[in-house]
Amino acid sequence: MNFASDNAGPAHPAILAAMTAANAGHSPGYGAEAAMERVQAMVREIFEAPEAAVRLVATGTAANSLLLATLARPWETIFCARTAHVQEDECNAPEFFTGGAKLTLVEAPDGRMDPDALRAAIAAEEGRGVHGPKRGPVTLTETSEKGTTHGPARIAELAAIARAHGLPVHMDGARLSNALAHCGARPAGISWQAGVDALSLGATKNGCVGLEIVVLFDPAQAQEFDYRRKRAGHLFSKHRYLSAQAEAWLSDGLWLDLAARANAAAALLAQGLGARGVELLYPVEANLMFFRAPRGLHRRLHEGGAQYYLWGGDLEGGNPDDLLTGRLVCDWSADAAAVERFLALI
Ligand SMILES: Cc1ncc(COP(=O)(O)O)c(C=O)c1O
């Protein structure tokens, strides 16, 4: 009953097997291995983007902040949801890697940026001449941090607002595969065709050991990204273990199968919680959810062996009737039996 995070889950055996196979003999490093060419070709085909530049890093924070640094100048501000991972959980890495760009927070009541709020936030910047920040990229998270998905239409709506001001769009796709498994859109339709310029495509949370695929739909930006990646210490010398993961993950639709499994477990969990009268805070559209319940129930679940994080508030002390929010995340390996055990505790 581990619903703490999708990165608490195991790597898929096919990923480990691919890394073991890549371990045979010697290989050029730094992305010069033959597998990297195959990975780039696969990503280009899957995203219907024959010119896209594809790079690999091992963490989502590296993918996000190196891409944002490529898209933003130090005097610019990056528009992100108030709840965005780049704002809450990256220890100011975007600000650090951009060399001083700041983040402007946009209201996103259910994890999805409100279009009017984005319009207003963009309009409010750049009124102070040389003294204030200049407008910079907009970054969107799909699946959002609250477990909701935008889908191609909402992404296109938000990207059009950015585009109207000449601003580039980045997508934090740490869980893009879960969003695609949910809405069935084509990868191209939810990314560059909707106006996304650069994508962090997360794989670690979805069956890999450590892999995020960076996609620059404008290949002219690849060289700057390359210098930034090297300078940041994120160009792996034994790069073959990254490309091996990517090749296995993208082969035969494994990435979408694993995401669909995680989503299915989450749907079962959400259905069971709803049936038991437990309050879910947002629509459950991918593989994570937030629920509100009395502290006493959270205690009982933890004592019964469930693992998940509370979003503010402590299990210990306090009134057992106080309502606290918990976050439940299903990874690809979450099984129905674990979900049933959890529901039985409720
Ligand atoms: C929305 C989102 N973006 C990016 C990341 C990547 O973070 P990390 O640097 O831990 O791989 C995470 C991981 O929690 C995430 O939830």
Protein residues with CB under 6 Å of any ligand 1 atom: 59-61, 64, 85, 141, 145, 172, 174, 204
DSSP per-residue letters across 93-160: HHHHHTTS-EEEEE--TTSSPPHHHHHHHHHHSS-SGGGSPEEEEEEEESS-TTS---HHHHHHHHHH
296 alpha carbon to ligand 1 midpoint, in Å? 30
CA 231/CA 97 separation, integer angstroms: 10
Q: What are residue 55's DSSP bridge partners? A: 214
Peptide bond preceding 148 in cis form (omega within 30 of 0): no
CATH level 2 (architecture), domain 12-252? 3-Layer(aba) Sandwich (3.40)
200 alpha carbon to ligand 1 midpoint, in Å? 10
- Which of 205, 262, 270 is CA-nearest to residue 63? 205
Q: What are phi and psi of 222, to 5 degrees?
A: -65, -35
**pLDDT (tens digit per residue) in 201-256:** 999 999 999 999 999 999 999 999 999 999 999 999 999 999 999 999 999 999 99
pLDDT value, residue 314: 92
Q: Which CATH class is domain 255-345?
A: alpha beta
Q: With 0.95 as the threshold, say if the pTM is over it.
A: yes
CA 6/CA 326 separation, integer angstroms: 15
Domain boundaries, the chain: 12-252, 255-345
pLDDT value, residue 127: 77
For the chain, give percent helix, strand, coil, nearest 5. 45, 15, 35
pLDDT value, residue 231: 98
144 alpha carbon to ligand 1 midpoint, in Å? 11
pLDDT value, residue 312: 86
Q: How many helices (H) and strands (E) does the chain have?
A: 14, 11
Per-residue pLDDT of the chain (346 residues; tens, 9 = 90+): 999 999 999 999 999 999 999 999 999 999 999 999 999 999 999 999 999 999 999 999 999 999 999 999 999 999 999 999 999 999 999 999 999 999 999 999 999 999 999 999 999 998 789 999 999 999 999 999 999 999 999 999 999 999 999 999 999 999 999 999 999 999 999 999 999 999 999 999 999 999 999 999 999 999 999 999 999 999 999 999 999 999 999 999 999 999 999 999 999 999 999 999 999 999 999 999 999 999 999 999 999 999 999 998 899 988 999 999 999 999 999 999 999 999 999 9
Which tokens sit at 112?
Answer: 């999805």
pLDDT value, residue 41: 98
Q: What are phi and psi of 91, to 5 degrees?
A: 50, 40
What single DSSP character describes residue 56?
E
Q: What are phi and psi of 215, to 5 degrees?
A: -120, 120
